[in-house]
Structure 1
Amino acid sequence: MFSEPSEIFRRVWVPLEGSLNAEHLYLSSKLAALEALRGGFTTVVDAGTRSDAGLDAIARAVSDAGVRCVLRLICNDRPGAETLDAAPIQRRASEHLGRYDHHALVTPSLAISIPEVASDAMLHHVHRMCAEAGRIFQTHANEHLVAVERSLNACGRRPIEHLAAVGALGPAALLAHATLVTPHEIRLLAETGAAVAYNPVASAWKGNAVAPAETMATFGVRLGLGTDGTRSDGFRLLDYAEAAQRFAFGIGVGDSSCGAGWRWLDMATHDAADVAGLGAVTGEIAAGKRADFLLVDLDVPELTPSWDVTWELVRLANRDQIRAVFVDGKLRLWEGWPPDWDARALMHDIRAMAADTIAGAPIRKLRDYADAHRARHAQTVSHAGTPGT
């Protein structure tokens, strides 16, 4: 789904998710978990599903694959023109928060997809539920110009300002993107203790801006490096995190450091664990933490000789250097493949069901596939004349 303009979720992702059954959810979630492990992720923060099949299939999939997961339940009460009854949504949210208390890998979370699809009361209530339970409240905010303008039109405030006004911005809040932020909104994030998922690849693929991540971090905003589902490759994500800041902000002011390398490595490890609500569980190799770690081969030509390993991991390291991935003390991946289940059989099952699933979903794409675009371009060039012919 490349080359699509912003808010692709309205035309592609939401219609596709709504058409998935429990088997689709299990298979696709397990494949996503495998991609994450291959990319060096030991934990994923799930964006929630709009499928009626529920979250149990996702919980089974990540458990079977062996990746740690923050699993969110969407609590929108105003998906359309009418506001839904809050009681059943709040009851389901309360059940979800208590469902995985003794699960080794799954941690529950609640979410509002974007602030405008929930009432002020629901935004406040869901955030409060998460804060009281010691879990995180998730929402996407200030990613696209159109979303900022819709918020201004609806309530006279930008999305992050609106979250603060209704009592849904605090240490329990994790905001995806926050790319279009004013100085006032940066101050709100820092003062309330809210966290931001910095998603640099999503900015390039479908966004309107790059989040000023280094500025936000400098002024005390909690940040973790995220993907928004765009890239399950940790080292490429590190490289892009630094490069996006350099292109968007550093070059223009002569900043040759742009986080000095360590900023992005920290943001991908213990800072990411903190904003995901798992700072007491994982994010670093330390006494009392769960054994989530990678074995990375540094004895490669690209890092020989090695002078600054932190910068080298950000700029030069590759996924093929990951020899092993351990989660919760168990080997989950060796040389790119799981040692205790058949990943290739999973890929076969995915290929078998993908075409019919996509064909049956009410997806609306605005861009052709690359080969179709190339063919149309070639046809245009072949019919182009020159003056005098």
Structure 2
Amino acid sequence: MATEQQDGTPGGVGRRRFLTGVGLAGAGGLLAAPAAAESAPPSPRPEQFQGGRYLLVPDVVLLPNGIARDHAVLVADGKFRDVGPAQRVVAAHPELTPVRLDGHLVMPGFVDAHHHLTQSFGKAQAFGQPSEIFKQVWEPLEHALDADTAYLATKLSALEWLRGGFTTVADAGTRAPIDVEVLARAAEDAGIRCVLGKVCSDGKGGEQHLHRWESARLIHPSLAIPIQDDASDAVMKKTSDLCAEAGAVFQIHVNEHLAAVERSISAFGRRPMEHLHDIGALGPQTLAAHATLLTPTEMRMVADAGAAISYNPVASAWKGNAVAPATTLAAWGVRFGTGTDGTRGDGFRLVDAAETAQRLTGGLATGDSSCGAGRTWVEHATSRSADAVGLGRVTGEIAVSKAADFLVVDLRVPELTPSWDLEWELVRLANRDQITAVVVDGRLRLWQGWPTDWDAHALVAQAATTGREVVERAPIRRVKPD
């Protein structure tokens, strides 16, 4: 008869194994059944991440230069205060009891380089629609929001993204008729770090916004003009300059769709990225969303200007005309982060999509079987994404003085057993359900997918009703309503 027993082997801690009384080779008993294994080590507990100061000793840490074993991480006052070989770090802090994370990885949280926090009620309303759905779906939806419903939509987004391993999101600016303080409050209440864009197409309020959040730990101001059609050249230049002076990012959608490129050529005789360059709005402060339709000349402009791009592969798959040439951008030294465009809040699926899109659009034709390999896509969804959204000095890495924004990931799963190249495996094999803990600014925000200090189930229930009401009153125009 089969019996169930704990597997205590190094590659299978905490998993179950079925043993037969007659041996693994069947009735002949050529291979004897193994003896009972030792008990699995205890799983981590949420209370071990409390108190504001704790010492973690995981099996694996993802450091800026790659995977490290036998390392420890000290978190205090919201930052990483010590990172290094476990023996040294533990000895240096004898007053702390090490939190052993056997079978777990500590890695930086994902950084979403392009989001629309107030669009969470729409979701499948955009599926199967023509490329420029912002006119038919997103603008009408956002205009139907008030302060209460915008708060709810933003907090719902933040919850979904935290569940998917994102510790930072860059919101590209809402068109909802509200004070963006509503979004800031929702992000802070949920516990996610937010680069908060304010739409300044009329040229007003930018300076005030950039200085409004100086005391906030999780809110980092940004200015946005959704598309170049929305503002004059003078306003775009002024907005970009304000961001440069404040050390903030200037967000704008550029070269996303063929229709937008053709409108720019008709209006200015230049493509959108060329036009931004010509008016002096393209610089290190610029975060160009999508940029899927770039000529070699435009790529050179972006590289020379030191501007950044948000590469949004899922958005390209769902409603785009093209995929940004991310591997080419990397080869040319163009700064870029990986973004979702608010499609779905799942960091592991995002890095998978990032690599897959490059493989399908370029790798197959050129025989490039790696397309940057695993590390490229992990880096561009963490540290390089943080750099793209203007937070390279703040977050994105497990490194001393950086914000303690990180994930605790369970490696004791069949998908990662045996493990040969963890960075590749994170890209192609890892899952959101392996995330044991999400920590932002040193505080435990989610444990096994749910917040520890507020009622997320109640929020989801409320959003199910309120979100439907908002969509029903919004003048959304779907081309194929079925």
Q: Determine if the TM-score, normalized by the shorter chain, exceeds 0.5.
A: yes
- Residue matched to 2:142: 17
Structure 1 residue 261 and structure 2 residue 374: aligned? yes
Once the two structures are superposed, what CA deviation does each residue of 1:209-249 show, in whole Å capped at 9, x if it has no partner? Answer: 00000101110100101011112100000100000000001
* Equivalent position of 1:252 in the other structure: 365
2:408: which partner in 1? 295
Q: Counterpart of 2:268?
A: 155
**Structure 1: where are the runs of 5+ without partners?**
78-85, 370-389
Task: Output the amino acid matched with 1:133.
Answer: A
2:226 is aligned with 1:113? yes
Equivalence map 1:47-126=2 (5 Å): 47-77=172-202, 86=203, 89=204, 92-126=205-239
The one of 6, 23, 30 aligned to 2:155: 30
1:129 aligned partner: 242
**Match in the other structure for 2:130:** 5
Q: Kindly state the Cα deviation for residue 355 of structure 1 after the two structures are TM-superposed.
A: 2.3
1:1-389 paired onto structure 2 within 5 Å: 1=125, 2-77=127-202, 86=203, 89=204, 92-369=205-482
Measure how far apart 1:313 and its partner are. 0.3
Give CA deviations for 1:147-180 in whole Å, capped at 9, x if unaligned: 0000000000000000000010000000010000
Cα shift at 1:352 = 2.2
Q: Percent identity at matched positions? A: 61
Query: Does the residue aligned with 1:103 lie in a helix, a strand or coil?
Result: coil
Q: 1:340-372 CA distances to partner (integer Å, 9 max, x unpaired)?
A: 000011011112212221121111011234xxx
Q: Distance in 2 between matches of 1:9 and 1:315?
A: 31
Q: CA deviation at 1:5?
A: 1.2
Q: Which has the higher helix share?
A: 1
Give 3-state SS (helix, strand or coil) of 2:451's partner. Answer: coil
State the Cα deviation string for residues 281-337 of structure 1 (Å, max 9, x = none).
100011111100000011111111000001000000000000000000000000000
Aligned mates of 2:464, 2:320 — CA distance in 1 = 29
- State the SS of the aligned residue for 1:197: strand
Query: What is the CA–CA distance in structure 2 between the aligned matches of 1:352 and 1:246, rounded to whole Å?
Result: 40
Residue aligning to 1:83: none
Counterpart in the other structure of 1:81: none
Distance 2:135 2:304 in 1: 32
The separation in 1 between residues aligned to 2:239 and 2:138, in whole angstroms, is: 24
> Is the contact between residue 308 and residue 334 of structure 2 (CA under 8 Å) also seen in structure 1?
yes
Output the amino acid matched with 2:426. Answer: L
RMSD: 0.8
Letter in 2 for 1:336: G
Larger radius of gyration: 2
Task: Flag as ranges the 4+ runs of structure 1 deviating above 2 A.
Answer: none
User: Can you list the C-alpha shifts for 1:185-217, whole angstroms capped at 9, x where unaligned?
Assistant: 000010000000000000011100000001011
Give secondary structure in 2 for the equivalent of 1:363. Answer: coil
SS at match of 2:256: coil
- The DSSP-based 3-state class of the residue aligned with 1:263 is helix
User: Structure 1, residues 232-270: CA drift from partner, whole Å, max 9, x if none?
Assistant: 100000100000000001101111110111111100010
- TM-superposed CA distance for 1:47, in Å, is 1.8
Judge conservation of contact 2:153–2:467 (CA < 8 Å) in 1.
no
Rounded to whole Å, the distance in 2 between the matches of 1:296 and 1:181 is 37
Deviation readout 1:61-83 (Å, 9 max, x if unpaired) = 00000000000100113xxxxxx
The one-letter code matched in structure 2 to 1:56 is E
Partner of 1:386: none
Deviation readout 1:101-120 (Å, 9 max, x if unpaired):
01010000001101121111
Letter in 2 for 1:307: W
- Name the amino acid aligned to 2:157: A
Normalised TM-score (structure 1)? 0.91
Verify the 8 A CA contact 2:160 2:345 in the aligned structure 1. Answer: yes
Aligned partners of 2:469, 2:357: CA distance in 1, in Å?
37
Amino acid at match of 2:193: R
Please identify which structure carries the higher strand content.
2
* Counterpart residue number, 1:374: none
Give the distance between the partners of 2:305 and 2:468, measured in 1 at CA: 46
- Cα distance in 2 for residues equivalent to 1:351 and 1:244: 32
Q: Secondary structure at the match of 1:261?
A: helix
Point out which structure has higher relative CO (alpha carbons under 8 A, 6+ apart): 2
CA distance in structure 2 between the partners assigned to 1:354 and 1:109 by the alignment? 27
CA distance in 1, matches of 2:467, 2:154: 13
**Structure-2 separation of matches of 1:144 and 1:111:** 18
1:56 Cα offset (Å): 1.2
Local SS of the residue matching 1:268 = coil
Structure-1 separation of matches of 2:131 and 2:152:
27
User: What is the CA–CA distance in structure 2 between the aligned matches of 1:345 and 1:229, rounded to whole Å?
Assistant: 22
